Amino acid sequence: MIRVENLSVSYGAVAALRDVTFEAPTGKITTVIGANGAGKTTLLRTISGLVKPRQGSIRLGEFELIGTATEEIARRGVGHVPEGRGVIEELTVEENLRLGALASKVDLAEGIARQFAQFPALESRRRNYAATLSGGERQMLAMARALIARPSVLLLDEPSLGLAPQVTADMMRTISELCASEDLTVILVEQNAKSALRIAHDAVVLHLGRVAAFGTAAEIAADESLRRYYLGVVT
C-alpha cells in the first residue's frame, strides 16, 4: 500500500503538485488521470525519489519514502516504468531484463523464464538490441524489466502511449491480471482515461496539481462533471 499525504512539489516557482492526498491499496489498481501538465508524472517521480517534494509524506506500508534514495526505493520493491518506457536501446532485450533482476534477490534464469512466459514476444528477440523493438514490444520489455524483481508496487506512466487500440487493450488486461496474481499495488497514470477507468478500482483526478476528485473508478467514471478535467477540455 502507498499512502500519499499533503504532498506539494514545485519546480522553482512552478507548483506542480499541491497538497495531494490519496491512498493506493494493495492488490488494486489506482489510476491517476488528468490533462497534460496536471502533475501525473511528477507524482510518480516523487514517489520514486527522483523529485524532492517541498512538503508531505509518502509511505510504503510504514516506511517513509521521502528522503530515501531512488535506488533504495527500487530495492524496497517499488517498480517504476517511466514515461517513454526507459528501455535502454544499446542493451539487448535479455540485458535489459537482467539489469532489472540484479538489484533483487530473484534467481536470474528463473526470473527471465517467468517474464518470457508472461511476454512470449520477447523471447524470440532476447538477443536483439532493444533499439530494434516496436513500441508495443518496448512496453512489454519495460514492464517485464520492472516485474522481474517481483516488486510489491508498480508505477506505470502512460503505458498505452503510442500503442494501437488492440495492443492497448491487451496491455490493460495484462496489468489487471498481474495486479491480481501478484498482489501488486498498481498506480497507473493514463491519458487514455476511458480504458484506465475500466480496469482500475480507484481513481485520482489531478487538475493543475490538485486532487480534483478521489474515489472508486466507477464513481469517477459516472461523474460527468469531472470529465472536463481528464478529457483535456480544461477551462
Partner 1 sequence: MGTFLASRVMTDIFGGLATGAVVALIALSLVIIWQSTHVLNFAQGAMGMFATFVGMNLVFHGLNYWLCLLLSVVTGMVLGGVTERVLIRPLYGKPEINPIVVMIGFLGVIEAVIASIWTTNITMLPSPFSQIYYQSAGHTILVSPFIFYEVALVAIVVIAIALLFRRTNLGLQMRAAALAPEVSRLLGVRVGRLLTLGWILSTGVGTLAAVVVSTGQVLAPTNMDGIFVSAFIAAAVGGLESPLGAIIAGLAIGLTEQFILDFWSTSIAPLSGVIVLVIGLSLRPQGLFTKHVSRRV
Residues that bind ligand ATP (CB under 6 A): 11, 14, 16, 34, 36-42, 191
Q: Which of 30, 31, 41, 46 binds Mg ion (CB under 5 A)?
A: 41
Closest CA to 143 of 186, 110, 183, 199: 186
Partner touching 28 among partner 1, ligand ATP, Mg ion, none, CB below 5 to 8 Å by kind: none
Choose one: 41-49, 52-60, 103-111, 201-209; the region binding Mg ion (CB under 5 A).
41-49
Partner touching 186 among ligand ATP, Mg ion, partner 1, none, CB below 5 to 8 Å by kind: none
Partner touching 10 among Mg ion, ligand ATP, partner 1, none, CB below 5 to 8 Å by kind: none
**Parallel, antiparallel, or unpaired for β 29-34 and 202-207?**
parallel
DSSP state at residue 105: S
Partner touching 11 among partner 1, Mg ion, ligand ATP, none, CB below 5 to 8 Å by kind: ligand ATP
The answer to whether residues 153 and 2 touch, using CB atoms and an 8 Å cutoff, is yes
User: Could you tell me where the DSSP H helices lie in the chain?
Assistant: 40-47, 70-75, 93-102, 108-118, 120-123, 135-147, 165-182, 193-199, 217-222, 227-230
User: 135 Cβ partners below 8 Å, 6+ apart?
Assistant: 162, 163
Partner touching 14 among ligand ATP, partner 1, Mg ion, none, CB below 5 to 8 Å by kind: ligand ATP
Binding positions for partner 1, rule: CB under 8 A: 48, 50, 69-72, 74-75, 80, 82, 86, 88, 90-91, 95, 98-100, 102-104, 145-146, 149
Q: Which is nearer to partner 1, 106 or 208 (CB)?
A: 106
If phi over 0 gives left and psi between -120 and 50 gives alpha, with beta otherwise, what is residue 154?
A: beta
Cβ 218 to Mg ion shortest distance, Å: 25
